[in-house]
Each structure stands twice: as structure tokens, then as C-alpha cells.
């Protein structure tokens, strides 16, 4: 590993780079636990891993990190109600959110009930006509269909009106959620949420799939205490750890504590391909074997989400729950087609939104937020587009769409940068009547408004964001974890780095710098990506740059010459030959 001072004041991507400088004494303290490896010690030290925690970090196990189900408020109460319903053969319906976290959560429950010889009902709301979460109308419909018990997953904790209606019509509802909620929980049969104010489990970082997975363990625990089981014995929930891992990754839950064990061990189950739906989706997506966080998050995740974005919101939950190979293939093909449709819709909106965002920056270089809006912009993809704008321009971004067939009011989705709480901003705008409703959390939010309120929202947000100048400047910082020489970009180095994975939210993949290398080859690939070859001192490195054509970064790289690169190390296998390459995040001129 190279060592030197290294900083970039302004990159081609409009960012500034700083080289991380770990505490040398702490690095030395970690090295004995890492076989004396200096690079791993330098990567682990900033993550706050103490020497006595290295073994658990590198090898997170369910035995060491699985939460106690009884530590969750209402968990055992919910388990008792559910087990009673199973034993009595009551009609139970799961009400699931339309994203991957909701789909994996509902599939875990579906498979648990099936192990007891029962099929659970399913209800997934339509994004356009029903919006997020349960409504009074939906609960009335389920009551009319004969539901004896409803279990909401990945939604429901803030559905006060819907839960009040459920009480009024005598429909028992168990809520299993993980989203932030008010101080007073709404009335229902049981509410399991590690983020409710009176929960003491300390598991608020879990995705809904993680909470539901613990719930399945609670059901087994209670069944053992009651000395009851289905004819084949209690279900082995380890087989469903792939669903838990997938929901955790796709919901961007922080990878520490139990989540780290869920994902580390769940990836092993994913690789086995035991779930017929996931195996079919992987085959149709062209990856065959699910081998990595990338496959789960960026190959399977978008396809599973596509039904809820632009198609049938029930598809993902059905696919993940089915054991029928033919049904799995049919559902996977539909989701794959919906994903192609989603990408086309997203690309068209992104192009228009990027033009609008650039105009705002040109008109006001000190703008504190980007707000792009358009009639006909589909609510199913505006969140993705907002994220793309935020990543490109390093500013909080809101994208809004409305129009015939897209719902009665305009819908907006927001993504933010570190230090600027967009959820609080949207909530404040709603309270002041600037918009109809909205909220969220620090990094993302959603809102509803009349199209005529758009200009007022822009003015209000600009005034509000003027307070966050320092935070917006900090959002342009790119921290380089370590410098590598080109001859160190090897499969062996890649394998070494993977020992401190898995990487994801809260456990970022290391960013490496390549200093003063020459671009000797460039080739556009796909619609807007770029492939590079860079060389220095006789060593050659292949590099990929995603979504850069037509941006200042892409334009600069196409000119070749000598540059500094910042990116992540990736594995590459082609025609039986394995190499390592750099996935470029940013580049800067050599001056």
C-alpha cells in the first residue's frame, strides 16, 4: 500500500478528496488480530473495531448476535396470537408493503404458515391508487373477505386511522414494522417495532425482514414451550435466512449487530439457490448463482421492486413465497419485463430532471436544494431519479410527478446528503401548509401536494436550506481510505478486502486512490458507461465508470492523459481469467 499525503481540492465530479489518517497506535493494536496485515488494520481502525471485537466482526454468527425475541415489546404477545390462530385454523392475511423488504417479510410468514399446513392470505396495496401502508378501506375489504387476523409487515406503525377502523369493525391486527412512529402507539392487537418509544430491544437498525425473522424464531420458541408442532416438526427458519438478508440489504439497513450476521450467513443461503423464486429470477437476470451483495442489491433488488414501481405490486411477494418452479419462472419473467419498463421510464425522467436541475444551478450556483417536477412523471421511479440527482450534484433533491392515471395529487420523493435532514424539512413544510402532507427520515422522504403548490414549495425549501451551507459543503467530500499502486490491484488484494465484508449501509466498501496514472484506452459501453485502461510503471489496470457519459467526469476521462482515480476494488472473471478492476467513483487532474 502506498503511503503519502494526498488531497484533491476539486475533482472532475465537483468534489474534494481527503485521505483517511487512522490512529497509528490503534492500527498497531489491531494488527495481531489480523495476522499482521497493515492494510486491513488501517481499514478497520476508522470503523471503530476494538481488538477484542475483531473476531466477531470478521465472523458474525447467529449464535452470538441473534436478538432475544422476548426483548421486543409485544413480540411474544404477537407470537401467542398468531400461534393461536394457526392451531385454530383461522384465516390469517399478511398485509405487506410493495418493496423488497415487504415482499421478503411476507414470504417468511407465508413459508412459516405453510410448514404448519396452512396458506396465509396476501394483500399488497397499489402505489398509485392506495399509496403506502394500510387504509381503512383495505381493512374493511379484508374483513368482508373473512379475515380473522391481519399481520402487517414493513408498514402499519403510523397507520392510526386504518388501525382505528380495524378496531371499530372488530378485525384484530398485528403490526410488525421498523419505521419511526409517534410516541403513543396506535391501538391494535399487538405492535412489534424496535423503533417504538417503549421498546428496549436495542434493535432499531433491523429491517422489517429482520424483525419478521426474529418473529418466526419467537413462534418456534413459543411452540416448544407449548409442546406443539406440525407433523414434520417445527420449521427450520435457517432456510429462510436468504429472505432476511435480501430484505436487509435492499432496505439499506445498517450492517452492524444482528444485521451483519443476517447478511453474512444469509448470503451463503442465497448462493445455494434454495428459494425457487430467487433462483428463477437470477437465471432470467443472467447471473445464475447469487454470489454477492451486488447481486442481491443491484440485480435482484431492482427486479423485485419493479412490480411495485410500474406493474403489479403483488408479484415480488408471490415470487418469493412460491415453491412451484413453473410459477416462479412466469413471475420472474414478468418482473424482469417490468424492470426493463422501469429503466426506460426512469431514463426518460432522469434526462429531463437533470436538465432542469442544471438550469437551477446555473441560475443560482449557491442553491441549497434541487426540485425537479413534471407532468406525467411516474411516482414509481421519482425516488430513484431523486437519488441520481443527489449523487450527481451532491445536493438534497426532490423529484415530483403528477398527471392523469398517476393519482389525484402530485407525489414527490426526496433524497438528501449527510447532515441535511430532509424528512424534518418536509414535515415542517407540511405543518406550515406549504404542501398537503409529507415526512420521512434524515436521508429520504416523501410528500404530496397540489401542482399549484410547487412554486411555493421551491421558495420555502430554498429559504429553509440556506441554514445548511456547511453541511452541503461537507457533502462534497470524498474520503479515500487508502492509496494503492496499480500493481496492487489484484484478485489477491480483492480477496483480502472481502474478509472485512459484507459491505453496505453503515459498513461502506473501502474507497481506494490510484495516484497519477495514465489513461491509455477509453471505450463507451452500454448507454452511458465508460471502460478505461490506466497504466503506471509498467502495471496496467482496467476500470469502469458508471453513468458518466455526458457529465463533466465522463468528458474529462474521454480526453485521456494523466489523472488521479478514486474507486472501489472489484472482481472480474472473463473467459476463465480472473482479474481485479477499479469501479471509478471520481477522478481528478494531475497538476
On whether residue 215 sits in a domain, the answer given is yes
Task: Let me know whether 464 and 487 are in one domain.
Answer: no
pTM beyond cutoff 0.85: yes
Q: Output the pLDDT for position 308.
A: 87
Quote the CA–CA distance of 287 and 336 in Å, as a whole number: 13
Task: Let me know whether 115 and 149 are in one domain.
Answer: yes
Helices (H), 273-321: 276-285, 293-294, 301-310, 315-321
Per-residue pLDDT of the chain (591 residues; tens, 9 = 90+): 444 557 899 999 999 999 999 999 999 999 999 999 999 999 999 999 999 999 999 999 999 999 999 999 999 999 999 999 999 999 999 999 989 999 999 999 999 999 999 999 999 998 878 878 899 999 999 999 999 999 999 999 989 999 999 999 999 999 999 988 878 899 999 999 999 999 999 999 999 999 999 999 999 999 999 999 999 999 999 999 999 999 999 998 999 999 999 999 999 999 999 999 999 999 999 998 898 999 999 999 999 999 988 888 999 999 999 999 999 999 999 999 999 999 999 999 999 999 999 999 999 999 999 999 999 999 889 999 999 999 999 999 999 999 877 777 999 999 999 889 998 999 999 999 999 998 888 888 899 999 999 999 999 999 999 989 898 889 899 999 999 999 999 999 999 999 999 999 889 999 999 999 999 999 999 888 999 999 998 999 999 999 999 999 999 999 999 999 999 999 998 888 999 999 999 999 998
For position 561, which CATH number holds? 2.40.50.460
Task: Let me know whether 128 and 273 are in one domain.
Answer: yes
**Last residue within a domain, chosen from 474, 500, 527:** 474
Q: Output the pLDDT for position 7.
A: 81
Chain-centre distance for alpha carbon 73:
25
Task: Let me know whether 134 and 212 are in one domain.
Answer: yes
On whether residue 30 sits in a domain, the answer given is no
On whether residue 59 sits in a domain, the answer given is no
Q: Output the pLDDT for position 2.
A: 47
On whether residue 552 sits in a domain, the answer given is yes
Task: Let me know whether 300 and 437 are in one domain.
Answer: no
For position 440, which CATH number holds? 3.10.310.30
Q: Are 97 and 211 in contact (CB under 8 A)?
A: no
Domain count, the chain: 3
Task: Let me know whether 493 and 513 are in one domain.
Answer: yes
Task: Let me know whether 285 and 193 are in one domain.
Answer: yes
Question: Residue 570: which domain range?
Answer: 7-20+481-589
Task: Let me know whether 462 and 496 are in one domain.
Answer: no
Task: Let me know whether 293 and 204 are in one domain.
Answer: yes
**Last residue within a domain, chosen from 323, 338, 353:** 338
Task: Let me know whether 400 and 498 are in one domain.
Answer: no
For position 117, which CATH number holds? 3.90.1640.30
Task: Let me know whether 103 and 209 are in one domain.
Answer: yes
Quote the CA–CA distance of 551 and 556 in Å, as a whole number: 9
Task: Let me know whether 197 and 326 are in one domain.
Answer: yes
Cis peptide before 502 (omega within 30 of 0): yes
Q: Could you tell me the three cell numbers for 520?
A: 491509455
On whether residue 355 sits in a domain, the answer given is no
Handedness of CA 374, 378, 383, 384 (dihedral sign): negative
Q: Output the pLDDT for position 5.
A: 58
* C-alpha closest to that of 46 among 18, 19, 23: 23
**Last residue within a domain, chosen from 446, 474, 502:** 474
On whether residue 33 sits in a domain, the answer given is no
On whether residue 99 sits in a domain, the answer given is yes
Q: Are 478 and 511 in contact (CB under 8 A)?
A: yes
On whether residue 32 sits in a domain, the answer given is no
Amino acid at each position: 500500500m502506498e503511503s503519502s499525503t494526498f488531497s484533491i481540492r476539486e475533482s472532475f465530479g465537483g468534489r474534494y478528496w481527503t485521505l483517511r489518517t487512522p490512529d497509528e497506535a490503534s492500527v498497531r493494536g489491531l494488527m495481531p488480530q489480523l495476522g499482521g496485515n497493515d492494510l486491513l488494520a488501517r481499514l478497520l481502525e476508522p470503523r471503530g473495531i476494538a481488538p477484542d471485537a475483531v473476531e466477531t466482526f470478521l465472523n458474525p454468527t447467529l449464535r452470538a448476535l441473534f436478538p432475544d425475541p422476548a426483548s421486543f415489546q409485544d413480540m411474544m404477545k404477537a407470537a401467542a396470537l398468531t400461534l393461536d390462530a394457526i392451531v385454530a385454523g383461522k384465516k390469517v392475511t399478511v398485509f405487506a408493503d410493495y418493496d423488497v423488504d415487504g415482499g421478503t417479510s411476507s414470504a417468511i410468514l407465508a413459508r412459516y404458515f405453510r410448514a404448519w399446513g396452512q396458506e396465509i392470505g396476501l394483500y399488497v396495496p397499489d402505489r398509485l391508487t392506495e399509496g403506502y401502508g394500510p387504509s381503512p378501506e383495505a381493512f374493511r375489504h379484508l374483513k368482508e373477505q373473512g379475515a380473522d387476523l391481519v399481520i402487517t409487515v414493513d408498514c402499519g406503525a403510523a397507520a392510526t386511522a386504518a388501525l382505528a377502523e380495524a378496531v371499530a369493525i372488530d378485525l384484530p391486527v398485528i403490526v410488525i414494522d421498523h419505521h419511526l412512529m409517534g410516541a403513543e402507539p396506535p391501538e391494535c392487537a399487538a405492535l412489534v417495532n424496535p423503533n417504538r418509544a417503549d421498546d428496549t430491544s436495542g434493535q432499531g437498525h433491523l429491517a422489517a425482514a429482520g424483525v419478521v425473522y426474529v418473529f418466526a424464531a419467537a413462534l418456534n420458541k413459543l411452540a416448544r414451550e407449548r409442546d406443539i408442532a406440525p407433523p414434520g416438526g417445527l420449521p427450520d427458519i435457517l432456510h429462510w435466512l436468504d429472505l432476511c438478508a435480501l430484505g436487509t440489504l435492499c432496505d439499506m439497513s445498517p450492517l452492524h449487530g444482528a444485521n451483519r450476521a443476517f447478511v453474512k450467513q444469509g448470503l451463503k443461503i442465497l448462493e445455494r439457490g434454495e428459494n425457487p423464486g430467487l433462483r428463477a429470477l437470477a437465471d432470467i437476470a443472467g447471473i445464475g448463482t447469487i454470489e454477492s451483495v451486488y447481486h442481491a442489491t443491484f440485480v435482484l433488488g431492482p427486479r423485485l421492486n419493479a412490480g411495485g414501481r410500474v406493474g403489479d405490486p403483488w408479484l415480488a411477494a408471490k415470487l418469493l413465497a412460491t415453491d412451484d418452479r413453473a410459477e416462479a419462472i412466469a413471475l420472474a419473467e414478468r418482473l424482469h419485463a417490468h424492470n426493463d419498463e422501469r429503466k426506460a421510464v426512469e431514463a426518460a425522467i432522469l434526462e429531463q430532471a437533470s436538465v432542469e436541475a442544471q438550469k437551477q444551478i446555473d441560475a443560482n450556483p449557491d442553491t441549497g436544494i434541487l426540485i425537479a417536477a413534471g407532468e406525467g412523471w411516474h411516482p414509481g421511479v421519482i425516488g430513484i431519479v431523486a437519488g441520481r440527482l443527489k449523487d450527481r450534484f451532491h445536493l438534497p433533491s426532490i423529484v415530483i410527478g403528477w398527471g392523469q392515471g398517476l393519482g389525484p395529487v402530485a407525489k414527490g420523493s426526496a433524497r438528501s446528503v449527510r447532515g441535511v435532514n430532509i424528512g424534518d424539512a418536509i414535515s415542517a413544510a407540511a405543518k406550515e401548509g406549504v404542501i398537503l402532507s409529507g415526512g420521512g427520515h434524515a436521508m429520504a422522504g416523501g410528500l404530496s401536494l397540489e401542482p399549484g403548490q410547487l412554486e411555493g414549495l421551491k421558495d420555502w425549501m430554498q429559504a429553509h436550506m440556506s441554514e445548511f451551507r456547511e453541511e452541503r459543503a461537507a457533502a462534497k467530500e470524498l474520503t479515500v481510505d487508502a492509496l494503492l499502486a496499480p500493481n496492487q490491484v489484484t484478485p489477491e488484494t480483492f480477496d483480502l478486502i472481502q474478509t472485512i465484508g459484507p459491505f453496505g449501509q453503515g459498513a461502506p466498501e473501502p474507497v481506494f486512490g490510484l495516484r497519477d496514472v495514465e489513461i491509455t484506452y477509453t471505450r463507451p459501453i452500454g448507454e452511458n458507461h465508460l471502460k478505461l485502461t490506466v497504466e503506471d510503471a509498467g502495471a496496467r489496470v482496467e476500470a469502469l465508470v458508471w453513468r458518466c457519459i455526458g457529465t463533466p467526469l465522463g468528458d474529462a476521462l474521454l480526453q485521456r492523459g494523466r489523472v488521479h482515480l478514486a474507486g472501489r476494488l472489484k472482481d472480474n472473471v472473463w473467459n476463465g481469467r480472473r482479474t481485479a478492476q477499479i469501479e471509478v467513483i471520481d477522478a481528478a487532474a494531475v497538476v
